[in-house]
């Protein structure tokens, strides 16, 4: 099982180590670390406090769905983390002692330690609040660390598929990026672990999930909006990904 780590400097200072580099963090700084990325924190004084929250990647993905249409560096970071098979970036946000962020972090921490009925729903809600608060108030205070040259092309391809999900196909995608169908198909598979059709299906399903929770659109309207013409195929794919029907997903207010 893969996990995402959220680390928040609650008090004092600490050092953050990543691939031989050292970063000095201070109170209010927040780091979001994707699965399997080696890093470490070091606090020197007794009153240096870092809160670490460990979340299943699946919970992180469920909470992220409503932000798919955002257009900024932070949401693109989450998008790449969601779809890339191997991902070596993390995001550092200077929150400047934002009390709302601190409140959300406390809520996240408490729910991550709980095993009560409804904890997963509340946990997902806190994650979404955290994303929203960061994007609204701290987008300019975020730094993406440990990037590589392939990240941006992958982001561009995924973004194009998202925007054009109703009518995009492999041929039109290849033409847009002036690449052969074979090359772009292999590139998508190598970088995300998905085939083009699987990636398109996943993007459509996550958009449908977002609309089910955030709008009062009928299921039929949502099916049309995300680009499906075969209703039974939509229902089959939705249940395969989320484990419930669209109506059950809307009623519960949360994914699997």
Check whether residue 140 and residue 157 sit in a common domain: no
- In angstroms, the CA 64 to CA 127 distance is 8
Q: How many residues does the chain have?
A: 256
How many CB atoms sit inside 10 A of residue 216's CB? 8
Residue-level pLDDT at 151: 47
Ranges in the chain, pLDDT < 50? 147-151, 254-256
Residue-level pLDDT at 71: 67
Residue-level pLDDT at 85: 63
Residue-level pLDDT at 247: 93
- In angstroms, the CA 180 to CA 178 distance is 7
Residue-level pLDDT at 119: 79
- In angstroms, the CA 64 to CA 185 distance is 25
Q: Which range marks the domain in which residue 44 is found?
A: 3-145
How many CB atoms sit inside 10 A of residue 190's CB? 12
- Which pLDDT tens digit goes with each residue over 170-226? 999 988 888 888 888 988 887 788 899 999 999 999 899 989 988 899 999 999 999
Q: Exposed e or buried b for every residue in 144-155, given b needs 16+ CB within 10 A?
A: ebeeeeebeebb
Check whether residue 88 and residue 58 sit in a common domain: yes
Check whether residue 160 and residue 141 sit in a common domain: no
Final residue belonging to a domain, choices 118, 145, 172 = 145
Check whether residue 87 and residue 68 sit in a common domain: yes
Residue-level pLDDT at 255: 42
Angle separating helix axes 73-83 and 151-163, nearest 10 degrees = 90
Main-chain dihedrals φ then ψ at residue 46, nearest 5 degrees: -65, -30
0.85 exceeded by pTM: no
Q: What angle do CA 109, 78, 134 make, to 5 degrees?
A: 60
The count of structural domains within the chain is 2
How many CB atoms sit inside 10 A of residue 47's CB? 8
Residue-level pLDDT at 76: 76
Check whether residue 97 and residue 161 sit in a common domain: no
Residue-level pLDDT at 227: 92
Residue 135, domain CATH: 2.60.120.280
Residue-level pLDDT at 10: 92
Residue 247, domain CATH: 1.10.10.60
């Amino acid at each position: 099982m893969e996990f995402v780590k959220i680390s928040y400097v609650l008090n004092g200072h600490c050092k953050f180590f990543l691939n031989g580099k050292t970063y000095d963090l201070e109170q209010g700084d927040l780091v979001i670390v994707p699965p399997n990325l080696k890093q470490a924190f070091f606090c020197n004084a007794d009153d240096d406090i870092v809160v670490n929250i460990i979340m299943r990647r699946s919970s992180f993905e469920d909470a992220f769905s409503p932000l798919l249409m955002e257009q900024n560096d932070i949401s693109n970071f989450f998008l790449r983390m969601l779809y890339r098979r191997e991902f070596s970036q993390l995001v550092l946000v200077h929150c400047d002692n934002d009390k709302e962020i601190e409140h959300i972090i406390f809520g996240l921490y408490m729910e991550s330690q709980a095993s009560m009925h409804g904890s997963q729903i509340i946990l997902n809600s806190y994650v979404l609040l955290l994303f929203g608060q960061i994007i609204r108030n701290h987008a300019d205070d975020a730094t993406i660390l440990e990037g590589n040259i392939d990240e941006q092309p992958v982001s561009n391809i995924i973004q194009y598929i998202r925007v054009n999900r109703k009518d995009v196909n492999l041929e039109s995608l290849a033409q847009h990026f002036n690449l052969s169908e074979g090359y772009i198909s292999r590139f998508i598979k190598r970088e995300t672990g998905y085939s083009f059709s699987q990636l398109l299906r996943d993007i459509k399903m996550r958009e449908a999930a977002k609309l089910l929770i955030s709008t009062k659109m009928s299921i039929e309207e949502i099916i049309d909006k995300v680009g499906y013409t075969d209703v039974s195929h939509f229902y089959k794919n939705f249940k395969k990904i989320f484990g419930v029907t669209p109506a059950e997903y809307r009623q519960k207010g949360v994914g699997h």
